[in-house]
Amino acid sequence: MLSQKEQIGLECKGFWCEKLLTGEKDIELRQYPLPPEFLDRTIWLLASGGEDGVPSLGDSVEAGSPAASVVGWVRFSGNKEYHCPEDWEADQDRHCVPKGSPYGWQQGETAVIYGWVVQEAERLPSPASMPAASRIKRSLFKLHTPPMQMETSS
């Protein structure tokens, strides 16, 4: 278990980071619930590129990696579970994921989708370089240097 002092990052495609930071998106969809120890805690947004539905970061990331940058932070207040496509579709204005997206409900394949409920989010004045990081679980990373101690990326 990580201490409250340790810095956590969430890999998220840049497009989705933008929606979280502007408040357009207030539910982040994932295939797993946010672990309880990460609720009500600052989580850095690691904006990555690449193909939708495919992680861009490896299990270990070197400081300054061009694969992602830190664009802001988010805090989540809880998890919401979607057990049927109708409930998932009813919240489309909150999670911003359209039907047919690889991030959405897959008929015949999806049993549950988890929505991480956004409590607050804030953009950094300018993106910061990716700190060294290690994967904790799926898209969650332990950051080995706090992002604000890194130089901003150009």
Q: Please give the average per-residue pLDDT across 63-69, as a whole number.
A: 95
Name the residue type at position 120.
E
Name the 3-class secondary structure at 130.
Answer: coil
Q: Which of 32-41, 43-52, 69-78, 134-143 has the lowest mean pLDDT?
A: 43-52
pTM of the model: 0.90
Cβ(29)–Cβ(13) under 8 Å?
no
Name the residue type at position 53.
G
Closest residue by Cα to residue 22 from 153, 120, 139, 115? 120
d(CA 34, CA 43): 11
Quick one: pLDDT at residue 54? Answer: 74
Domain boundaries, the chain: 7-77+117-149
Q: Please give the average per-residue pLDDT across 110-138, as a whole number.
A: 96
Q: Which of 46-50, 94-98, 112-116 has the lowest mean pLDDT?
A: 46-50
Instruction: Band the pLDDT of 152: cuts 50, 70, 90.
Output: very low
Annotate 46-98 with DSSP letters as a single string: EEE-SSTTS--S-SEE-TT-TTEEEEEEEEEEEEEEE-SHHHHHHTHHHH-PP
Quick one: pLDDT at residue 86? Answer: 96
Task: List all residues 6 or more positions away from 84 whose beta carbon is below 8 Å from its beta carbon.
Answer: none
Quick one: pLDDT at residue 154? Answer: 45
Share the mean pLDDT of the chain.
91
Between the CA of residue 101 and those of 14, 29, 112, what are the distances in Å? 16, 12, 15
Quick one: pLDDT at residue 3? Answer: 67
